[in-house]
């Protein structure tokens, strides 16, 4: 959250001389406020972002597989958070020993769940449009049957 606030301030005060250096300025501001970020902290953030992207991909693939006209023969399901955390620990953080892998995966699972609680859900315009269309059809059907509706 702090990064977003700082980036908004930096964007509001960008001049032609500082254009294109927003991330550099953000890094400087963050170091000034909270101290230097270690490589491990950076890896943890990247690992959680990796988990979020993979989870979204899994959910999308599962939803596509559930469509009756889908060419996907088998119904897929999203991988559990623990499995995503283990993959992130291996691929992003670079854990190699089983003990380190378990510890980092457990930590990543906790960070993912915490970030999911604080991460705002972005509205899905497609879902909203489909819901609005469905409500419109229901209201039209009710009006055909003489039921007065206000929407």
> pLDDT tens digits for 45-93?
899 999 999 998 888 888 877 777 655 556 568 899 999 999 999 999 9
How many domains does the structure of the chain reveal? 3
Backbone angles phi, psi at 98, to 5 degrees: -60, -40
- Name which of 82-86, 88-92, 107-111, 136-140 the model is least confident about: 136-140
User: Which residues neighbour 59 within 8 Å (Cβ) at sequence distance 6 or greater?
Assistant: 78
DSSP 145: T
Expressed as residue numbers, the domain containing 136 is 125-151
Q: Are residues 56 and 6 in the same domain?
A: no
Q: Are 10 and 26 in contact (CB under 8 A)?
A: yes
69 and 21 share a domain?
no
The answer to whether residues 107 and 72 belong to one domain is: yes
62 and 85 in a common domain: yes
Tokens of 84: 């995503």
Task: Please tell me whether residues 13 and 64 are part of one structural domain.
Answer: no
pLDDT for res 109: 93
Q: Same domain for 44 and 116? A: yes
User: Do 43 and 101 belong to one domain?
Assistant: yes
Same domain, 42 and 67: yes
**Does this model's pTM top 0.85?**
no
Q: What is the pLDDT of residue 6?
A: 84
Shared domain for 42 and 112, answered yes or no, is yes
Instruction: Please indicate, yes or no, whether residues 17 and 65 belong to a single structural domain of this protein.
Output: no
Whether residues 56 and 5 share a domain: the answer is: no
pLDDT, position 3:
81
Is the domain of 110 the same as that of 99? yes
Residue 35's φ and ψ, nearest 5 degrees, are 95, 175
């Amino acid at each position: 959250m702090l990064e977003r606030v700082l980036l908004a301030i930096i964007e509001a005060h960008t001049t032609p001389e500082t254009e294109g250096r927003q991330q550099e300025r953000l890094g400087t501001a963050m170091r000034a406020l909270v101290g230097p970020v270690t490589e491990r902290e950076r890896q943890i953030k990247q690992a959680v972002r990796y988990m979020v992207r993979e989870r979204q991909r899994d959910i999308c693939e599962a939803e596509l597989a559930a469509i009756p006209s889908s060419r996907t023969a088998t119904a897929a399901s999203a991988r559990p958070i623990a499995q995503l955390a283990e993959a992130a620990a291996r691929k992003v953080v670079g854990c190699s020993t089983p003990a380190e892998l378990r510890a980092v995966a457990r930590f990543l699972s906790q960070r993912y769940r915490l970030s999911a609680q604080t991460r705002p859900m972005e509205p899905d315009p497609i879902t909203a449009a489909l819901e609005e269309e469905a409500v419109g059809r229901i209201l039209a059907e009710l009006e055909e049957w003489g039921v007065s509706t206000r929407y």
